[in-house]
Amino acid sequence: MRYRQPYYAQFVYIKAIIQILLDSILYVLNICTILTALWKRPQWYKLTKNLKTVQNNNNIVEKSDRFLFVFYNLIYWGYQIYMTLIFYDIMGVEFLKQFAIEYLQLYGQFIINFTFYVFSKMVLVRYRSLRKNLESQVRLVRKLSSRRVVYSLDHLNRIKYDIYLLKESVDIINNLFGWPVLLTIMFSGLQMLVYMQGIVVGAFNTFDTIIYTVIVMLWHCVITLSNIFLCDSVSSEVNKILSVAYSLDKHSLGDGRNDLTKFIDVVKDNFPTFSAARFFDINRSTIFGIFDATITFLIVMIQFESNRLRTTSSGRNLRRAMDVCVCLSGADGRVVEGRATLFRHHREVSRVRIPGRMGLPWMFVFVFVLWRPEKGGRRRERVGVGSRGKYPGAPPHHIGKKRRKKADRKTYQDHILRQFWTDFSTIVQTPCSCDGTKIYTFLPFERVDHSWGQTLSTNTQPKLVSKFHDLNQFPLQITMFSSDSTHSKSFGGIDAFVLGALAKRLNFDPQMVKTFEEELFGRILSNGTAVGDVVERKVGRFQQ
């Protein structure tokens, strides 16, 4: 499960532990299934022989479950295909790399559940047949008793033998399916807990993911609860057999009264009980136990999730963690900016994830810098904050004709990114080289020596925009800041082409809003300070 470490790192600790438990349970369940099939063949033979003997003694005609098996298979593979289409669109090939093995693991779990269902149903049918035979004997005794005729209860000996065989069959089922049933109940409970928590905190915020979540929860509920109710029905049938046996005591039985007493003792001593590896008995009270544990853990997980969103290393509020801010600084000095809220959770985590110590999806501010030749053929880097947006201790923000050394550049970026994290709970990624391939990322929860926070630099292709695959026509507000060189009252020129390409590529709905106030944004001031980009976040130009 090491290959899923980045996946686990996205969650708070308690949810990460539950996810690890879920994956571990699936592996153990499949191993247990294989070992049970190979090493316990004598028990399988004994079980089928006992059930066949009772069937022949009572002339039981059983209905085939093959149509039910086909029906369940259609449902299983239907929702698995639906899940694949949803998450492949969100995560791409990475989804298959991480979760393809679960197709076989979950199908193995389904086979175990269905096999347990079939054998439990066979036991139930046989107990029900014994009850009906005993009831027919009671009706006969009642008629003879009204005529003062004593009826022999020799037939009870045959029923006692069948009860012995069925009790032995239940014990064999417990031996074969005890651990698989325990693991299945644990898996279903934890799985429903995870999906319920996701619905409550808004992790599943699209129609497709919500439908998938409901289908999976119903699947696990139906499979698990049907087996629990089936086990409880077996116990209920035996209680009915006892009630029918007690009703015989009202009639004239003569010497047969001793046979009746022995029969009742046999039924009591061989009362069938299904258990999950002897940890607990499986009956209707198990449902309330699962429900109670699920609700309790759900409350705890929601509290952890709330604390995660409220708390940072400096105690600031991070309710904006699901927001994404996109900025584009044009070659003409204009800044196209906007903010997408209620962004697809899975898409954000999988495609825009910055791995940190806690793996939390913090606010990401992406600054895309386009370049153009300056006068004399030289280039200037447009990065930094303006005079109004300067913070205490900020270094000079204009990078002149002379390029900084790589070490100095990284220190410079570390100072800026660290300050923005401390003041605004913001991670900033800034392309800083003219070819647009050097990316600096601040990871606030990386431990370095005796302090927190580390700035990493990576080389990447200049395709940052393509990381946002689809915003699903989200209404993204766009503000244009005019520049003297290409200013026009009617929106057009290179700005229209840039915005149109972005809207088509990212699939969002651009909505133009007025500039908040007339200021000199998106240009280089006379003192050499470049304004725009990061300063918009600093001075609160984004919609809050």
CA distance 248 to 134: 10
More confident residue, 92 or 375: 92
Average pLDDT over residues 63-86: 90
Helical H runs in 147-255? 155-201, 207-247
Residue 87 lies in a domain: yes
Query: Are 136 and 37 part of one and the same domain?
Result: yes
Residue 312 lies in a domain: no
Beta bridge partners of 524: 530
Q: Are 54 and 62 in contact (CB under 8 A)?
A: no
Residue 285 lies in a domain: yes
Query: Are 341 and 257 part of one and the same domain?
Result: no
Tell me the percentage of the chain whose pLDDT exceeds 90.
21
Asked whether the predicted pLDDT for residue 154 surpasses 90, the reply is no
Query: Are 265 and 389 part of one and the same domain?
Result: no
Average pLDDT over residues 96-103: 84
Query: Are 272 and 391 part of one and the same domain?
Result: no
Query: Are 418 and 496 part of one and the same domain?
Result: yes
CA distance 64 to 75: 19
More confident residue, 293 or 408: 293
Query: For the chain, how big is the Rg over CA atoms in Å?
Result: 35
Query: Are 191 and 285 part of one and the same domain?
Result: yes
Q: In terms of C-beta density within 10 A (0-12 exposed, 13-18 middle, 19 or more buried), how is residue 231 classed?
A: buried
Residue 487 lies in a domain: yes
Query: Are 327 and 353 part of one and the same domain?
Result: yes
Asked whether the predicted pLDDT for residue 376 surpasses 80, the reply is no
Residue 461 domain boundaries: 319-538
Asked whether the predicted pLDDT for residue 336 surpasses 90, the reply is no
Query: Are 457 and 534 part of one and the same domain?
Result: yes
Number of domains in the chain: 2
Query: Are 254 and 332 part of one and the same domain?
Result: no
Q: Are 438 and 457 in contact (CB under 8 A)?
A: yes
- Model pLDDT for residues 475-489, shown as the tens digit of each residue: 776 766 554 444 444
Asked whether the predicted pLDDT for residue 398 surpasses 60, the reply is no
More confident residue, 197 or 32: 32
More confident residue, 292 or 358: 292
Locate 40 and state its tokens.
């316990």
Q: In Å, how far are 37, 56, 78, 113 from 184, measured between CA atoms?
A: 17, 33, 21, 8
Reported confidence tier of residue 45, pLDDT bands at 50, 70, 90: very high
Query: Are 213 and 329 part of one and the same domain?
Result: no
CA distance 392 to 109: 60
The per-residue pLDDT for 334 is 36
Domain's final residue, options 275, 307, 339: 307
Query: Are 350 and 288 part of one and the same domain?
Result: no
Domain's final residue, options 307, 339, 360: 307
Determine which of 22-26, 29-33, 367-371 has the lowest per-residue pLDDT on average. Answer: 367-371
Domain's final residue, options 307, 333, 356: 307
Residue 212 lies in a domain: yes
Q: Are 473 and 507 in contact (CB under 8 A)?
A: yes
Asked whether the predicted pLDDT for residue 304 surpasses 60, the reply is yes
Q: Between 284-310 and 13-39, two packed helices, what is the crossing angle to 10 degrees? A: 150
More confident residue, 469 or 329: 469
pTM for the predicted model, two decimal places = 0.57
Residue 314 lies in a domain: no
Q: How many CA atoms are closer than 13 Å to the CA of 347, on its beta-carbon side? A: 21
Asked whether the predicted pLDDT for residue 430 surpasses 70, the reply is no
More confident residue, 172 or 350: 172
Q: Are 443 and 356 in contact (CB under 8 A)?
A: yes
Reported confidence tier of residue 321, pLDDT bands at 50, 70, 90: very low
Query: Are 251 and 349 part of one and the same domain?
Result: no
- Model pLDDT for residues 119-136, shown as the tens digit of each residue: 999 999 999 999 998 888
Residue 543 lies in a domain: no
Task: With H, G, I as helix, E, B as strand and everything else as coil, classify residue 328.
Answer: strand
